[in-house]
């Protein structure tokens, strides 16, 4: 009888733990692969190139994005349009974005992989269209991006990534 009293609560605790862990594993939603994103952006996908950042550039990039971008950033360039795959932290986990820049303005911004448990609404075109043709002016986007209730941290993350992509594009050799 005594064993039954402990086994049943322990069983429920184990079941709850397994459900929580499986929910965490399932929190990654892939909406678009990198090759598919690039195929949307270019008739013929160019080979990737690498932009190397020195310490001063890294510091500027970190100021814009709130995160250290590392020493190098991979990008694709064709027809005066650059495309970047950027990971930026939302609340707890990275959000993977595809961002294309042409003539110093955002040509496309797409959520490729979303790993947060909340705020997934930022992936929808009604939200991402706000970034179309946005430019960087004095370290800020030249337009106001409307927030989504319950997704503030994800919205902020997308804005930081957009600023970073615009700035990275401006660092490319002419």
How is the chain split into domains, by residue range? 28-170
Residue 110: strand pairing partners? 98
Asked whether 139 and 64 are in contact (CB, 8 A), the reply is yes
DSSP state of 29: E
pLDDT 10s digit of each residue in the chain, 174 long? 555 555 566 565 555 655 555 444 546 889 999 999 999 999 999 999 999 999 999 999 999 999 899 999 999 999 999 999 999 998 889 999 999 999 999 999 999 999 988 888 888 899 999 999 999 999 999 999 998 888 888 899 999 999 999 999 999 998
How far apart CA 85 and CA 102 sit, in angstroms, is: 15
Which has the closest alpha carbon to 98: 120, 118, 74?
Answer: 74
Residues 6+ apart with CB under 8 A from 67: 88, 89, 160
């Amino acid at each position: 009888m005594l064993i039954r009293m402990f086994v049943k609560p322990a069983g429920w605790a184990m079941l709850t733990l397994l459900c929580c862990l499986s929910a965490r594993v399932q929190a990654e939603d892939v909406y678009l692969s990198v090759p598919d994103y690039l195929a949307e952006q270019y008739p013929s996908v160019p080979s990737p190139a690498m932009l190397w950042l020195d310490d001063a550039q890294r510091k500027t990039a970190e100021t814009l994005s709130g995160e250290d971008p590392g020493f190098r950033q991979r990008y694709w360039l064709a027809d005066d349009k650059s495309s970047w795959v950027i990971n930026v932290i939302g609340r707890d986990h990275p959000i993977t974005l595809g961002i294309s820049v042409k003539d110093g303005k955002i040509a496309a911004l797409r959520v490729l992989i979303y790993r947060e448990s909340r705020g997934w609404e930022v992936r929808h075109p009604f939200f991402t269209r706000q970034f179309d043709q946005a430019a960087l002016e004095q370290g800020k986007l030249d337009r106001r991006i409307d927030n989504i209730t319950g997704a503030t941290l994800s919205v902020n993350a997308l804005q930081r990534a957009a600023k970073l992509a615009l700035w990275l594009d401006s660092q490319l050799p002419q």
